[in-house]
Amino acid sequence: MLLIVLSYEKGLLNVHATVLNTMSLETISTSIFTTLKILLVYLATSIIPIRWLYVIPTPFFISTFDLYFLQLIFNIFHGTLLITAVSAVLTIAFIGIIYELSVINVQTVDNLKYQQFDHFISRWWHSLISTIKPKWKLLVILAISYVVVLSITKS
């Protein structure tokens, strides 16, 4: 976060007020594709049975969160109330997705040892399903919120 703020202060980052756009098929598909990429990265890291492996993609996503947060701060000072609220929803939905996927990833790897199947993919699949069951509603709400808000803020 400090690196991003320093980059902004030195003029290396061009931050401007968020502009709301109308949703189009292109922006919705781009937003869905972006959300699916995040989901697939965490899904791929949960296949490898090393608990701390989720740490590898998380810093990249946290740097994206830092940019969203910087945009939110900029919108608080220079944007309207609606744009600030949309930016806040985008930031909260994104960090919520990252948090939930990190927790699901760690719990999936931890639950592998309790599965009674012979094949690793079957054990991983049942571990993933048992981990996602209590969290799927919140994850879907966060993902839908992120897709909708991202599609109206994308240019």
Q: For the chain, how are helix, strand and coil distributed in percent, rounded to 5?
A: 80, 0, 20
Looking at residue 44, what is its pLDDT? 87
Q: How far apart are CA 106 and CA 116, in angstroms?
A: 19
Please, is 139 exposed, middle or buried when counting C-beta atoms within 10 Å of its C-beta (0-12, 13-18, 19+)?
A: middle
Looking at residue 49, what is its pLDDT? 79
Looking at residue 155, what is its pLDDT? 47
Residue type, 61: F
Looking at residue 5, what is its pLDDT? 58
pTM, to two decimals: 0.81
Phi-psi region of 11 (alpha: psi -120 to 50; beta: other; left: phi over 0): left
Looking at residue 84, what is its pLDDT? 84
Chunked into runs of 10 residues, the chain (155 residues) has average pLDDT values of 57 64 85 91 84 75 78 78 86 91 88 79 87 92 93 75
